[in-house]
Structure 1
Amino acid sequence: MLWTFFAFLSAVFAALTSILAKAGIEGINSNLATAIRTTVVLVMAWGMVFITDTQHGIMDISKKSWIFLILSGLTTGASWLCYYKALQIGEASKVVSIDKLSIVITVILAVIFLHENVNAKSIIGSLLITAGTLCMVL
Structure 2
Amino acid sequence: MSWQLWALVSAVFTAATAVLARAGSAGAESDAAAFMRSVVILLALGAICLATGQWQALRNLTGRNLGLLGLSGLATAGSWACYFRALKTGGAAQVATLNKLSIVLVAVLGTTLLGERLSGVNWLGIGFVTLGAYLLTHRG
SS state at 2:117 partner: coil
Where structure 2 has 5 or more consecutive residues not aligned to the other structure, the ranges are none
What is the distance in 1 between the residues matched to 2:58 and 2:97? 36
What is the distance in 2 between the residues matched to 1:23 and 1:56? 37
What is the aligned partner in structure 2 of residue 107 from structure 1?
A: 107
What is the aligned partner in structure 1 of residue 51 from structure 2?
A: 51
Deviant stretches of 4+, over 2 Å: none
Instruction: Count residues in correspondence.
Output: 138
SS state at 1:107 partner: helix
What is the aligned partner in structure 1 of residue 95 from structure 2?
A: 95
The TM-score with structure 2 as length reference comes to: 0.95
Q: For the aligned residues, what is the CA RMSD?
A: 0.9
What is the distance in 2 between the residues matched to 1:91 and 1:57? 40
Shift of residue 55, structure 1, vs aligned partner: 1.2
What is the aligned partner in structure 2 of residue 29 from structure 1?
A: 29
The TM-score with structure 1 as length reference comes to: 0.97
Shift of residue 22, structure 1, vs aligned partner: 0.9
What is the distance in 2 between the residues matched to 1:12 and 1:60? 31
What is the aligned partner in structure 2 of residue 123 from structure 1?
A: 123
What is the distance in 2 between the residues matched to 1:22 and 1:103? 21
Question: Quick one: percent identity of the two aligned structures?
Answer: 33
What is the distance in 2 between the residues matched to 1:110 and 1:70? 19
Shift of residue 102, structure 1, vs aligned partner: 0.5
What is the distance in 2 between the residues matched to 1:8 and 1:41? 19
Q: CA offsets, 1:20-49, max 9 Å, x none? A: 111111110000000000000000000011
What is the distance in 1 between the residues matched to 2:23 and 2:14? 14
Where structure 1 has 5 or more consecutive residues not aligned to the other structure, the ranges are none
What is the distance in 1 between the residues matched to 2:118 and 2:9? 25
What is the distance in 1 between the residues matched to 2:23 and 2:58? 37
What is the distance in 2 between the residues matched to 1:59 and 1:40? 23
Letter in 2 for 1:119: S
What is the distance in 2 between the residues matched to 1:59 and 1:73? 18
Shift of residue 53, structure 1, vs aligned partner: 1.5
